[in-house]
Amino acid sequence: MRDDTRNISDDARVMIALDGVSKRYPGVADAAVADLTMEVRAGETVALVGPSGCGKTTTLKMINRLIEPTSGSIVVDGVDVLEQDPVQLRRGIGYVIQNVGLMPHRTVEDNIATVPRLLGWEHDRIRTRTRELVDIFQLDSAMLSRYPAELSGGQRQRVGVARALAADPPVMLMDEPFGAVDPIVRVRLQDQFLDIQKRLQKTVVFVTHDIDEAIKMSDRVAVMNVGGKLEQYDSPQSILRDPAGEFVQRFIGAERGLKRLSLVRVADVEIEDGPVISVSATVEEALEEMQRHGSSWCTVIDTTGALQGWVDRHMLADVEVVSEVEPKRFSAYVTPASSLRHALDSIVTSRTRVAVVADENDRYLGVLSVERISRDITA
């Protein structure tokens, strides 16, 4: 089983480095963030997660100097942010907030073009980039002339992320980027962002209060405690497998095993051959295959290996060859890209008590059982 779901090299250069960063407000005894040290590698997505008052948003805003740190250093792409003009710094960092923050008096096109215009891009270049982002985020080009109030919450959120990416910044900061939309739209936006991030490979730091979102979206998770204390900073798999202390264990909550299953793909585990016969096989051959596997059913494939379904002893009682009956379709059907959590959900509702695994061309690869999943998740 792999420890990570993404492919960020351990020797990738550091894009963001916080060294002993603190933020103290006058008249407040406790620090909002105290002596925080962490690094974010190029192309990596890092989630800052923790309870209210742990300094997540404060940390994010110190990176682009919306909040000035009291002490310590923050280096972005090799340059100390305190040595840069804050306005110029922010124009080079994409920033997305929960309520999007689109300018209501400007069209979608004008909102997306905000930073490129401030940077002095030529009109044709801005127009080309705007339409490129419309395609990337699967927005209707007719939407460009509309105003934010005319869009759904999910559309406004996509426009907000598109605006943050307009000048092609190497770094993206996102503060509860999907928190203001309903759960169904939220899942779609998360999936779309993950797909886009695979292609663009931006360095992303995002704040969320939702540990499940952090696990799903990030290469590494920074679990923070009150005062900006970094309790654990590791891959989602490592945090779920080996939480560093009682605080982290309590914060990630119950069902750690199920959360881990959502990170592991079927391709990452060893599937079993299972009972399988050709559609041209005799009933005698089918029964022998069932007996060999200690099963009352078997998978049926055609001459190319394509999945046809399954048959059991009862279905074969009055025929001589398998082709004389119509195989039943598997209700539990997964691909190598499916998560083990999806596979487990399919298995427990299936009569065969297994999930059949097939490739993108519907060719049979094997079966996955609860026992197989259990062995891998506890290994």
Domain segments of the chain: what residues? 14-92+170-263, 267-377
What pLDDT, on a 0 to 100 scale, did the predictor assign at position 9? 60
Predicted local distance difference test score (pLDDT) of residue 370:
85
Mean model confidence pLDDT for the chain: 88
Q: Give the model's confidence band at 1: pLDDT under 50 very low, under 70 low, under 90 confident, else very high.
A: very low
Neighbouring CB atoms inside 10 A of 105's CB total 10
Residue 231: what pLDDT? Answer: 95
CA distances, 373 to each of 101, 143, 268, 276 (Å) = 44, 46, 11, 20
Q: Is 346 helix (H, G, I), strand (E, B) or coil?
A: helix
> What's the whole-number mean pLDDT along residues 167-173?
92
Fold designation for 14-92+170-263 = Rossmann fold (3.40.50)
CA distance 175 to 173: 7
Residue type, 314: H
Helix (H, G, I), strand (E, B) or coil at 142: helix
Per CATH, 14-92+170-263 and 267-377 having the same topology is answered no
Spatial distance between the Cα atoms of 237 and 256, rounded to a whole number of angstroms: 10
Strands (E), the chain: 14-23, 33-41, 45-49, 71-76, 79-80, 93-97, 171-175, 203-208, 220-225, 229-234, 276-278, 297-301, 307-312, 333-334, 354-358, 364-369
- Band of residue 204 on the pLDDT scale cut at 50, 70, 90: very high
pLDDT one-digit tens code per residue, 226-240: 988 999 999 998 998
In the predicted structure, residue 3 carries a pLDDT above the cut 50: no
Position 339, amino acid: S
Higher pLDDT, 65 or 253: 65
Question: Which of 94, 77, 8, 96 minimizes the C-alpha distance to 45?
Answer: 8
Domain 267-377, CATH = 3.10.580.10
Residue 10: pLDDT over 80: no
pLDDT in tens, 13-59: 999 999 999 999 998 888 999 999 999 999 999 999 999 889 999 99
- Among 268-277, 306-315, 343-352, the minimum mean pLDDT is found in 343-352
Cα–Cα distance measured from residue 333 to residue 342, given in angstroms and rounded to the nearest whole number:
10
d(CA 280, CA 282): 7
Residue 99 has pLDDT above 70, yes or no: no
DSSP element (H, E) containing 344:
helix 340-348
Residue in 67, 337, 57, 74 with CA at minimum distance from that of residue 205 = 57
pLDDT of residue 87 exceeding 50: yes
